[in-house]
Amino acid sequence: MTWAPLTASPNGTDTFSTGLEENLGYSTNGKYGYDTIALGWPGSGGPSLDHQIAAGIAAKEFYLGHFGSLTLGGYDRSKSEPKSLNVAFNEQDTRDLTVNVKAIFTTSKNNSQRTELLTKGFPAYVDSTIPYLYLPLESCIQFERAFGITWNESVLAYLVNDSLRSTLLTQNPSIIFTLSNSTTGSSPTIDIELPYAAFDLIAERPLMKNATRYFPLMRAANESQYTLGRTFLQEAYLVADYERRNFSISQCSWKEGVQQDIVPIMSPALDHHSDKQPLQGGALAGVIIGSVVVSLGILLALFYMARRRRKVLVSQSKADCQDSPEASERQDTCVMDGEILEVDSEPLPKPELHGRSFERYEVDGGIDGHNEAEGSNSWPQELEAERYRPVELPSTRDSG
């Protein structure tokens, strides 16, 4: 035995108030103590926590309470439709899973007629400990007119006889709840549809001496009692993330043969991408456009800096080029490291030759014609005429 009673109550016993649904008029006590809480049978190897506070209660108000379909540490994606409504936790911890009910209406089997069951929206707490829907009195009156149910003051319930049940099963109406995460008109919404089968319940002992069918609708005395109980959760799938303090609601999926798809909810301490919901189209487009603008700005800044730096380097190179002995003889350019650079300085004057004219000297024409003297940097000299007189050769042709 791991149980250890907790005996710190004012009356010296281990009995304390549970505090469950006191706003609905429930008043129950429980025997409290410390125990080891585990999933599975003892010794099966399932996860467990030691020295946890637990209470045992015996109260008919919670006789129908049960876990139902429960997934700890994640959710089963195969159990819900894709569309969901995300809602932040209520600031009041005892009513953390609060959602705004904007509309309630019913439709016939062929959806040919719609009947409004709510005149004004209200916030409601989603609670799995009770089976009922606690709605405003005005809404309850609309239900009475639409389905022919009657409030039984002695048992404080809407009882359904066999004849009325047969009629409702034949009509097979649907009740639709339109939910929102805000009281503003532009906030997102979702419709959760409940068939009449979700309201076809039976009360047994200890609630009723004999099995009796009832319609799980209760008249709320004030706003603090507005509650959506297990009747609602038969057709709504709820995922609560207590570390991030938000939850989501979607329509249950009853597709046959679908394989279980468990999705873990990672702790924010382990998951750096704590926001599980993807960006909407507008937000994603804004992020992309912003990224492109920032990138272009960076590229333009780098281009401007590179161009400015090049101008400085070119100016410096020009200055160095003009003073360099390796500079080109061209007046307007110079060559530095294999690149021709323009020179902004004044053109260099061309050196002029000596002002004295160069006289041209030719040898006398002869048989070989005239010959030009070999060019050189020295002054050309005239040859002596006597040493190179032309001599006529004797004729070898026969006379006559």
Strands 98-107 and 174-180, how do they pair? antiparallel
Residue 193's pLDDT is 96
Query: Between the CA of residue 321 and those of 290, 325, 339, what are the distances in Å?
Result: 46, 8, 11
Listing DSSP states for 78-128 in one string gives GGEEEEEEEEEPPSSGGG-SEEEEEEEEEE-TTS--EEE--SS-EEEEE-S
> What is the widest separation between alpha-carbon atoms in the chain?
179
Nearest CA to 173 out of 206, 149, 208 is that of 149
CA angle 366, 372, 377 (to 5 degrees): 150
Phi, psi of 169 (to 5 degrees): -65, -35
Enumerate the H helices of the chain as residue ranges.
137-147, 162-171, 230-233, 281-322
The pLDDT assigned to 328 comes to 47
Q: How far apart are the C-alpha atoms of 200 and 164, rounded to whole Å?
A: 11
Residue keyed to tokens 């805000």 = 182
Phi-psi region of 130 (alpha: psi -120 to 50; beta: other; left: phi over 0): beta
According to the 3-state scheme, what is the secondary structure of 44-64? CCCCEEEEEEEEEECCHHHCC
Question: What residues in the chain have per-residue pLDDT under 70?
Answer: 1, 8-12, 58, 60-68, 111, 271-295, 297, 301-304, 306, 308-400
Map residue 385 onto helix, strand or coil: coil
The proportion of the chain whose per-residue pLDDT surpasses 70, expressed as a percent, equals 63
- 116/314 Cα distance (integer angstroms): 82
Q: How far is CA 125 from the centre of its chain?
A: 28
User: What is this structure's pTM?
Assistant: 0.62
Bridge partners of 379?
none
Q: What is the pLDDT of residue 367?
A: 47
Which residues lie below 8 Å from residue 225, measured CB to CB, with a gap of 6+? 23, 24, 134
End-to-end Cα distance, the chain: 167
Percentages of the chain per state (helix, strand, coil), in multiples of 5: 20, 30, 50
Whether residue 225 contacts residue 156, with contact meaning beta carbons closer than 8 Å, is answered with no
- Element containing residue 193 per DSSP (H, E): strand 189-195
The one-letter amino acid code at 368 reads D
Residue among 223, 245, 264 nearest 134 (CA): 223
Per the DSSP assignment, residues forming a β-bridge with 247 are 87, 240
Write down the pLDDT at residue 285: 64
In one-letter notation, the amino acid at residue 345 is S
**Pair type for strands 174-180 and 189-195:** antiparallel
Whole-angstrom distance, CA of residue 306 vs CA of residue 196: 74
Answer whether 180's CB lies under 8 Å from 96's CB.
no
- Tokens 């919670």 locate to 62
